[in-house]
Structures are given as structure tokens and as C-alpha cells.
């Protein structure tokens, strides 16, 4: 009698292997997700860095653009000096004083006021501002101008006109400001160059031209403002008069409409009266016609009656006549 050995499958080991395999898959998926999250975080970090760098570039460009737009075309010295009080800028008076002193000195054969600083400070006073509770001053540059500086000034003027979107024609404060700064820089260049060749009067004369142009612009501005105010007043008066005329026109139109209605009413009444008169005339005509017909009939009867009576009388007279039968 032999023994038969049956192999019973080990389901427990298979289930454990499946569980281990599933755990390994889950771990792999978790690691893959972790790697993806790390990659995403790295990409976000790179994007943030790029965004910050772009923002920094934009801020720097904006700051440079703002500095370019706010800075003056007139060249000033790089150093600044602290002062206690703000000096009043009396350009015209100081320039005239310097000019008179130059003329008097030349008449006397002496040219004592010939320093660049005196001339430039009288024509173009230092600019002053308050910073940190102190008043700072910065004078114009005394560096001689070259042809390259003039070309650079023209290019910078065109650039700022384009950046600040100045109008090409008409009234524009931006264009006026930039051209004023450019004129001041040209005045500095001319004055400094002419001082170096002992001809300060040309710079002073150009300063007088600048003052005359400014006074002319102010006069034209006042004239424009007064004419604009006059135009506004006239426009307001015209508006008031127009409203009064419109009210009068409306009143006349209403009156005209009322009169037109009265005319239509009178026409209707006239038509009714004419119809009534025609009806009455027709009634009278019919009455007269009937009366005339009745009168004719009565007259005819009376005529026949009279004629018969006349014939009877004539017949009786004929019978009674003695000449009867003759």
C-alpha cells in the first residue's frame, strides 16, 4: 500500500509576496512623487529667482529712467556743499551787476572780474535743496565744452523728449522745461568758452537773451491766460444768451402753435356757419319756390274768374245793345 503525497500550494506566502510587491510599488511611486515635488520646487525656485532678477532689472531701469527724466540737462559739479540758508536766485540782477562791473573794468583798462566761477554763478546760480535736515548746494560745472559735448547734448535732448513724450507742437510744459535746460547748458558752454578767451560779454549777452525770452514767454502766457479767460467768459455769456434765446424760441413756438390751433378752430367754425347758412338758404329757397307756385296758381284762378266775369258782362251788354242785329 503506497502513500500518495499531495503538494498543497502555500497561499500565505503568495499573499505576503503580493503585499511586499505592492509596498515596493507604493514606495517607488512615493519616491517618484517626491522627486517630482523636488523638481517642481526647484523649478519654482528658479522661476522666483528669474522673476526677482527681472523685477530688479525693471526696478533698475525704472530708477535709471526716473533719474534720467528728473535730472537736468545742465551739467553740475559732482561735489555738493552744505550751506546753512537758501540763497535767493537773482539771475537777472546778478548778471546785470556782473556785466556792469565787466564794462566798467574794461573802460578803466582793467579786467579784474574774469574768473569762471563768478561769471557762471552770476548767470547760472547754484541749485539748492534740503536733505537730512540740511541745505545742500551744487554749482554748475566749469569744465570746458567740446564739440562732442554739444552732439551729446543734442542726442540727450532728443532722447528725453522721446522718453517724456513731449508734444511736438502747441503748449507743452515738458518741452518747455527741456528746452530751457538745454538753453541753460548752451549758455554755460558759451559763457565758459568765452571766458577762457577773455570775452565774457558774449555769455552775458546770451543771458540777457535768455531773460528776454523768458519774459516774452511769460507775457505770452499771461496774454493766453487772459484771452482764454475772456473766451471762457464770452462762452458763458453766449451760453446764457443761447439759453435765453432758446427759451424765447420755445415760447414763440408755443404761441405759434396756439395761434395755429385758433386758426383751425376758426376755420371749423366758419365751415359750420357756411353749412348752416347754405341749409337756411336752401330752406328759404324751397319756401319761396312753394310760395311762388301757390301765388301763380291763385293768380291764374283769379285771372280765369275775372275773364269769365268779363265775358259774361260783355255778353249781357251785347244782348242789351240797340244795335243788335244791325
Q: Domain-by-domain residue ranges, the chain?
A: 81-198
Encode pLDDT of 7-28 as tens digits.
444 445 565 666 667 667 777 7
87 pLDDT exceeds 50? no
Please give the order of strands across the beta sheet that includes 81-83: 81-83, 134-138, 127-131
Beta bridge partners of 140: 76
Q: Is 324 left (phi over 0), alpha (psi -120 to 50) or beta?
A: beta
Tracing cell 546753512 back to the chain, one arrives at: 84
- Chain CA centroid to CA 62, Å: 28
Of the pLDDT bands very low, low, confident and very high (cuts 50, 70, 90), residue 127 is confident
Containing H/E element for 138?
A: strand 134-138
| Confidence band of 270 (pLDDT split at 50, 70, 90) | very high
C-alpha distance from residue 103 to each of 98, 112, 120, 194, 211 (Å)? 9, 11, 17, 15, 19
Say which residue the cell 499573499 belongs to: 15
Q: What are phi and psi of 247, to 5 degrees?
A: -65, -40
Beta carbons of 74 and 184 less than 8 angstroms apart? yes
Per-residue pLDDT tens for 196-210?
444 567 777 888 888
DSSP H or E segment with residue 213: helix 200-320
For the residues of 142-171, what is the DSSP string, one character each? -PPP-HHHHHHHHHHHHHHHHHTT--SSS-
pLDDT score of 325: 52
Q: Is residue 243 over pLDDT 80?
A: yes
Mean pLDDT across the chain, nearest whole number? Answer: 74
DSSP, collapsed to helix, strand or coil, labels residue 212 as helix
Average pLDDT of the residues in 270-287:
87
Pairing type for strands 81-83 and 127-131 reads unpaired
Lowest mean pLDDT among 90-94, 217-221, 314-318: 90-94
Q: Is 275 helix (H, G, I), strand (E, B) or coil?
A: helix
* All three cell numbers of 28: 517607488
Torsion of CA 243, 244, 250, 252, to 10 degrees: -160
Reported residue count of the chain is 326
Say how far apart CA 70 and CA 50 lie, in whole Å: 29
Amino acid at each position: 500500500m503506497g502513500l500518495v503525497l499531495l503538494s498543497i500550494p502555500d497561499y500565505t506566502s503568495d499573499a505576503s509576496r503580493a503585499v511586499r510587491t505592492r509596498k515596493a510599488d507604493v514606495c517607488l511611486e512615493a519616491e517618484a512623487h517626491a522627486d517630482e515635488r523636488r523638481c517642481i520646487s526647484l523649478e519654482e525656485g528658479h522661476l522666483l529667482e528669474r522673476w526677482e532678477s527681472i523685477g530688479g532689472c525693471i526696478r533698475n531701469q525704472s530708477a535709471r529712467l526716473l533719474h534720467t527724466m528728473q535730472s537736468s540737462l545742465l551739467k553740475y559739479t559732482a561735489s555738493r556743499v552744505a550751506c546753512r540758508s537758501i540763497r535767493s536766485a537773482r539771475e537777472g540782477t546778478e548778471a546785470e551787476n556782473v556785466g556792469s562791473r565787466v564794462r566798467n573794468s574794461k573802460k578803466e583798462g582793467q579786467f579784474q572780474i574774469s574768473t569762471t566761477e563768478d561769471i557762471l554763478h552770476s548767470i547760472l546760480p547754484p541749485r539748492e535743496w534740503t536733505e537730512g535736515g540740511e541745505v545742500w548746494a551744487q554749482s554748475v560745472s566749469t569744465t570746458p565744452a567740446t564739440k562732442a559735448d554739444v552732439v551729446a547734448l543734442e542726442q540727450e535732448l532728443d532722447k528725453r523728449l522721446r522718453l517724456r513724450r513731449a508734444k511736438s507742437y502747441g503748449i507743452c510744459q515738458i518741452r518747455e522745461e527741456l528746452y530751457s535746460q538745454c538753453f541753460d547748458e548752451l549758455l554755460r558752454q558759451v559763457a565758459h568758452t568765452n571766458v577762457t578767451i577773455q570775452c565774457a560779454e558774449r555769455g552775458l549777452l546770451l543771458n540777457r537773451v535768455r531773460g528776454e525770452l523768458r519774459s516774452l514767454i511769460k507775457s505770452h502766457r499771461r496774454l493766453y491766460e487772459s484771452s482764454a479767460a475772456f473766451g471762457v467768459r464770452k462762452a458763458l455769456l453766449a451760453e446764457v444768451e443761447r439759453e435765453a434765446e432758446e427759451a424765447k424760441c420755445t415760447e414763440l413756438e408755443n404761441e405759434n402753435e396756439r395761434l395755429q390751433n385758433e386758426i383751425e378752430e376758426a376755420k371749423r367754425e366758419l365751415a359750420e356757419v357756411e353749412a348752416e347758412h347754405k341749409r337756411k338758404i336752401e330752406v328759404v329757397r324751397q319756401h319761396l319756390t312753394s310760395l311762388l307756385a301757390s301765388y301763380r296758381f291763385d293768380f291764374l284762378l283769379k285771372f280765369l274768374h275775372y275773364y269769365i266775369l268779363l265775358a259774361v258782362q260783355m255778353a249781357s251788354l251785347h244782348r242789351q245793345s240797340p244795335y243788335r242785329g244791325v
